[in-house]
Amino acid sequence: MSWTKTHLVGIEDLTRDELETIFRVTTAFKGILTRSVKKVPALRGKTVVNLFLEPSTRTRVAFEMASKRLSADVISISGSASSVIKGETLRDTALNIQALNADIIVIRHTAAGSPAYLSRFSKIPIINAGDGAHEHPTQALLDCFTMREHLGRNLKGRKVTILGDILFSRVARSNIRALTKLGAHVTVAGPSTLVPPTFERFGIRVSHDLKTALADADAVMLLRIQHERQSSTHFPSLGEYTSMFGLNKTRASWLKPDAMIMHPGPINRGVEIDSDLADSGRSVILQQVTNGIAARMAVLYLCSGGKPEALGETEDE
């Protein structure tokens, strides 16, 4: 098992071995979360600051839970409650949090590259909780971990279709990077304005034919339309998007019977996915959310110097 990194800026920076290390540590922590005492002293005495300058429910709560399960103290700051709105630079905000003796900064920011920028001068770990349309590495880690639980630990040759607003999605970019490193075959699908052919440079398939894109998928991941990152209209109306690309009962029938239905959340019910399908037995959406705690425990643990070996046997070799 290998891990030498201090920061987690993106999946782009990780090797396949490092991904496997995170999954093994996630498995160990998931086991701990099933015990009656769901807590370990791994980060006792350390303080995690969640600097969320963009809205979040799942990621922020999961990082808070993960920090507490590792016995760290945790402080969460939102954009509207920080001195950023008084004109303070991101660099000064981070340096001040460091001067207050924080041990880890978890950052979500609208600007792509913000975590990478902080990691250039920060003396403490910087963890990316989503930066613009660039990357959302912990989302991809929990997504791949969830796929491994259903499809087996080796995702090589598995087929994953990501359907929706790919162009503005950091979740898509991080999952494409993680899945291709793990040997899976990725197809991105949706309207051509949101799924441009340039995505082929990732070594993946771009498809605008939904039937073909869904037919052989082991997992389909729906993405919402990210209006907050779009400055122009990419399709005539939400109703037309849903009628052409929403996952409904008919389109779900094109999937293999055991294909997993995934979504990083937040879901827009009745837009990218029918409500019945989101709540169906094929949906693993809430399991993804739950796995987000153990995956983030693994990242906090490893980036703060925790040794994977110290957790003992984590997965059958």
Whichever of 190 and 265 has its CB closer to ligand CP, that residue is 265
Q: Which is nearer to ligand CP, 57 or 193 (CB)?
A: 57
Site for ligand CP in 45-64 (CB under 6 A): 56-60
Q: How far is the CB of 211 from ligand CP (least distance, A)?
A: 28
Query: By rule CB under 6 A, what count of residues binds ligand CP?
Result: 11
Nearer to ligand CP, 155 or 295 (CB): 295
- 139 counts as binding ligand CP under rule CB under 6 A: yes
x-or-dash string of contact with ligand CP, 108-137, rule CB under 6 A: ----------------------x-----x-
Q: Write down the least CB distance from residue 261 to ligand CP, Å.
A: 15
- DSSP string covering the chain, please? -----S-B--GGG--HHHHHHHHHHHHHHHHHTTSSS----TTTT-EEEEEESS--SHHHHHHHHHHHHTT-EEEEEEGGGSGGGGT--HHHHHHHHHHTT-SEEEEEESSTTHHHHHHTT-SS-EEEEEETTTB-HHHHHHHHHHHHHHH-S--TT-EEEEES--TT-HHHHHHHHHHHHTT-EEEEES-TTTS-GGGGGGT-EEE--HHHHHHT-SEEEE----GGG-SS-SSS-HHHHHHHH-B-HHHHTTS-TT-EEE--S---BTTTB-HHHHTSTTB-HHHHHHHHHHHHHHHHHHHTT--GGGG---S--
Rounded least distance, CB 224 to ligand CP, Å: 10
Shortest distance, position 139 Cβ to ligand CP, whole Å: 5
Q: 297 or 311, CB closer to ligand CP?
A: 297
Site string for ligand CP, 238-277 (x = CB under 6 A): --------------------------xxx-----------
Residue 104 beta carbon to ligand CP: minimum distance, rounded to whole angstroms: 18
Minimal distance in Å, beta carbon 117 to ligand CP?
A: 20
Site residues (vs ligand CP, CB under 6 A): 56-60, 130, 136, 139, 264-266
